[in-house]
Structure 1
């Protein structure tokens, strides 16, 4: 059997390798027409992006460079689309959305309805992952109408599947199943095996949610077999993950672990960190269901580390909850308590901007009330004018003098009513203006002014790339140990006092506060208005923050009270900034610059401001600053990085 498998592998490799080699030969031959080279690199990048997303992205960038020189819209669209898919597979959702949007602009400007529909459908998947489900459905229905008008059956089938995914996120399982089955039927008509497998996965997981688990197992097994025949490794890995979850719910843990192990091997080979993080979490939950606490703890901690490195708050929350329950099962109640505190902090981070949607609701209510008042005044005016006209006719018929008196009396009555209505209107307008001021103040506490204005004007704010931002992180040393010396009220009061001081400092230097996460504080310069603040501004702000916490520490120690020490780290580079979420949204930033800034903080010392070499190059000539070179310092996950302590001269 082993020899048969080896022969089969060699046959497959032998058939695929020459095709790949021939494509590379075409791409490398610069004497060939650009159109031929673009076709070759497009095939190479599209194949690579699903197997090795980083490699696919690198190839798509080469494809984009050549497409830009040639100016061919179709080639540009294909390059942007492949880049977007690669970033989505790497869980870089803002970058994925940016490139899907560029693909959409190319399709629209070249009047290509088919690719316009595809881009709209692709963008919807990112909005779904970001939690903006109404926006996702809106884009999907736009895409569906275009494909139906074109008679594009494959596009319609794909969009039905995406609509089903969105309804599933809304827990409307019957609507989801209806759309999945439409998709499967259309793919079956087309003979599209991969599309049918995708629909089967969706149908199977939905049947599992509805409690029909035996049916779900059969459908997922069929999908896995199709993906195996097609050589679709990433899709097969995800289907194994799904089947493992269903089997866990059925109490068939041994079978579930076999599928999780198969999926994990695929994800590690493809460096697919997002699904790998979920795989560890699903394995941990399966171990917990068996009472195997040590294995559950190991798996969930691995998932948590990956989710933490990717900045995936929801997955961090799931994994932290799993860690907490595993620790409690082992009897480590102190560790479970710490995990619970971390879980609650993540929960608070996910919920802290809930008022944002309420602000928009108040805006809509205010507009509605203003319209009601305007309509009411118009009706009063119309009634008054009609009554006057009637009075004039009556005066002509029954005698001008008598009816004139009656008309005047009636006019006075109506005028009195109108006056009362106007007074009510003025009071209402004042109340509405007051509510608007409160709404604006609340919105500006949640979002930058520029972003809030765009959100109110358009109903959404687009993500943007900032090439030269400087990110600041702070963290309290020994926070957990110190917090045990304070009551809950004292702890909250002290953190509040510290962070209020930091808020005042970022306002002084026009630096943008991004968020707080537990005892950590995050801010950035150079965004959303790149001219408002610089790297030097945020370094000066960091020194003021250090002094503020140091002064507060001195005062509390003098009074015999526990006090915090703070580390501060900064790094400069490109970031993507934007709003995420729909029911609870927040302004946030992403990118490797953010991760490196966090490492600057953790690699620093209490009471010192630690900056990267990149930030140093930007501020080294700033008057009033002096620097202490630290040489190469090891940073977790980053290797050895050159760092500097900064002080006032």
Structure 2
């Protein structure tokens, strides 16, 4: 067993490597220290390690892995009731959702942080969260509110004399000033931030500032200077393996080429950026890339491709959930206004009472009666006014809740099905000629589960299935349901999609990659680990809604049963597919196949099966 001081030294080396942008090296040191901390049962330090691991993966653009580690960190902090750590990690989770373009989820994280902070009142965490909320306002193009939140955070950082936090704040403020066309002040703030980043050798702050300086000169149509800054950003991003900024700078350079009339070069750069955006699953980055490709292809006269990317851009815009986020922001402000109105009303009532008493002492009974009557009328009128105002605000609150309910319904059912259910109160079953069905199942689940506490078991399954949900969303396949330790999804419903067969196989491969990484993590910390079989089959199905309570969208047919048999006859770590699916995707260059021959399947006789792998 290694000493605690050795573990601390390994952790500190990892932190230095992370600050220097050497993320791969930092991960190695964090994992080594994590093993030692578990040996000493130091769960607080184990939580620290998971948090730093999550940040390293997030900065490389591996957001699914990052969110998984953040969840682990919170789990360890809860064991020792380390509320400051829980608050800080939840804040960082919000940042990860922000980069994914999932602003509503990001805001939910920030609200949780502020709830925790009402108890522990850590000024640094409150300031960071305040600045992050400003970032969401910026994405919603409410720049006045964004600057208001940035200024609040800046005042706290100044009191704490936190040089790096001040630099990050100046960088965020500068980015807003660029959008407001206040270029001189933006350049001043960004230059200050860059100076601190160089002095502190903080590559992460430096890469963010360089990117914003590039945007500053791009907005002024000074393409030469802008290109210089974006090329520096790209070079530093490649050194740090920051996929987010590699993609971002590629798209920015593509936009410069488009502005210079070099549309073929623009297409090349923005296509590279789009590929990275798809890889890391960033909605906002995918939208930026599609906008660039739309304008470039349109200028080149390729209307067909231009239209394709225009439609994709609109889809990604809708997926950013900006409407839901705006509603939630509005609700926060409405709640605050309700409190303000209540205080004002109490003050008003108190004032009326004091005046009333004074008048009673000065006036005769008859005059007092008149004043009291008038006072009653005034109070009644004021009450009626407040009532009307409250009704107005209540209606707005109901509208917001209605929007939330609709968003919740869309989380349960596909949009097309949800609309039919709202309009008719029921949904007609539909036949589909070609749908792909994916099943997963954990091998030796019962034996592995016996080694875990009930809480640890549920947490582990939740981590895996949350990752599967994100992967399903990334490849646009429909999650159908979970049954115990089994996960079921379908491609090509409720809207047929020509890419669904390819996408569901890519999703299956990524799910197996996740499980392999998860097993390695758990083995390093001496935790039980699940291994998974995964099978996919394609064919005709019937889809619809069953029941009237706790209803769910489900699928039926021999295709579903066959897919289940394909999964149960698969091998751990492999993606097993049927012959019918193989015949449909065999010409896809991104896959390689291994024929398994005829495999005896329960209730199906012999079926031809194939293992599929990704061509790197």
Q: CA deviation at 1:294?
A: 3.6
Could you tell me which residue of structure 1 aligns to residue 308 of structure 2?
341
**Gaps spanning 5+ residues in structure 2: where?**
329-404, 419-460, 481-485, 516-531, 542-565, 568-572
- Which structure 2 residues correspond to residues 437-586 of structure 1 after superposition, within 5 A? 443-445=412-414, 464-465=463-464, 511-514=488-491, 519-521=498-500, 522-523=503-504, 538-539=535-536, 541-542=537-538, 544=539
C-alpha distance in structure 2 between counterparts of 1:192 and 1:517, whole Å: 54
Q: CA deviation at 1:162?
A: 1.8
Per-residue CA deviation, residues 277-301 of structure 1 (Å, 9 max, x unaligned), is: 0101111112222333243233212
- Please tell me whether residue 59 in structure 1 is matched to residue 29 in structure 2: yes
Could you tell me which residue of structure 2 aligns to residue 212 of structure 1?
182
Could you tell me which residue of structure 1 aligns to residue 59 of structure 2?
89
Contact 2:293–2:309 (CA under 8 A) maintained in structure 1: no
C-alpha distance in structure 2 between counterparts of 1:608 and 1:215, whole Å: 51
Q: CA deviation at 1:206?
A: 1.2
**Gaps spanning 5+ residues in structure 1: where?**
1-29, 362-435, 450-461, 474-498, 504-508, 547-570, 573-591, 639-649
1:184 corresponds to which of 150, 154, 161: 154
Q: CA deviation at 1:76?
A: 1.1
2:44 corresponds to which of 57, 74, 88: 74
1:259 corresponds to which of 229, 232, 245: 229
Q: CA deviation at 1:60?
A: 2.1
SS of alignment partner, residue 624 of structure 1: strand
SS of alignment partner, residue 586 of structure 2: coil
C-alpha distance in structure 2 between counterparts of 1:306 and 1:601, whole Å: 27
SS of alignment partner, residue 152 of structure 2: helix
Could you tell me which residue of structure 1 aligns to residue 586 of structure 2?
605
C-alpha distance in structure 1 between counterparts of 2:84 and 2:496, whole Å: 44
C-alpha distance in structure 2 between counterparts of 1:241 and 1:155, whole Å: 25
C-alpha distance in structure 2 between counterparts of 1:471 and 1:101, whole Å: 14
Q: CA deviation at 1:209?
A: 1.9
The RMSD of aligned alpha carbons is 4.9
Q: CA deviation at 1:194?
A: 1.0
1:202 corresponds to which of 172, 185, 188: 172
Per-residue CA deviation, residues 509-540 of structure 1 (Å, 9 max, x unaligned), is: 9952156795211447899xx9xxx968x44x
- Please tell me whether residue 236 in structure 1 is matched to residue 218 in structure 2: no
Per-residue CA deviation, residues 91-111 of structure 1 (Å, 9 max, x unaligned), is: 232332232222223323312
C-alpha distance in structure 1 between counterparts of 2:122 and 2:468, whole Å: 44
C-alpha distance in structure 2 between counterparts of 1:441 and 1:187, whole Å: 41
Q: CA deviation at 1:171?
A: 2.5
C-alpha distance in structure 1 between counterparts of 2:126 and 2:181, whole Å: 29
2:217 corresponds to which of 222, 239, 247: 247
Contact 2:64–2:467 (CA under 8 A) maintained in structure 1: no
Per-residue CA deviation, residues 362-400 of structure 1 (Å, 9 max, x unaligned), is: xxxxxxxxxxxxxxxxxxxxxxxxxxxxxxxxxxxxxxx
- Please tell me whether residue 118 in structure 1 is matched to residue 88 in structure 2: yes
C-alpha distance in structure 1 between counterparts of 2:471 and 2:192, whole Å: 50
Contact 2:267–2:296 (CA under 8 A) maintained in structure 1: yes
1:325 corresponds to which of 257, 273, 295: 295
C-alpha distance in structure 2 between counterparts of 1:136 and 1:470, whole Å: 17
C-alpha distance in structure 1 between counterparts of 2:289 and 2:61, whole Å: 17
Could you tell me which residue of structure 2 aligns to residue 564 of structure 1?
none
Could you tell me which residue of structure 1 aligns to residue 136 of structure 2?
166
- Please tell me whether residue 36 in structure 1 is matched to residue 18 in structure 2: no
1:47 corresponds to which of 10, 16, 39: 16
Judged with a 3 Å threshold, the aligned counterparts in structure 2 of structure 1 residues 349 and 603 are, in CA distance, closer, same or farther, namely farther
Q: CA deviation at 1:85?
A: 0.7
Contact 1:227–1:236 (CA under 8 A) maintained in structure 2: yes
C-alpha distance in structure 2 between counterparts of 1:182 and 1:472, whole Å: 37
Judged with a 3 Å threshold, the aligned counterparts in structure 2 of structure 1 residues 624 and 349 are, in CA distance, closer, same or farther, namely farther
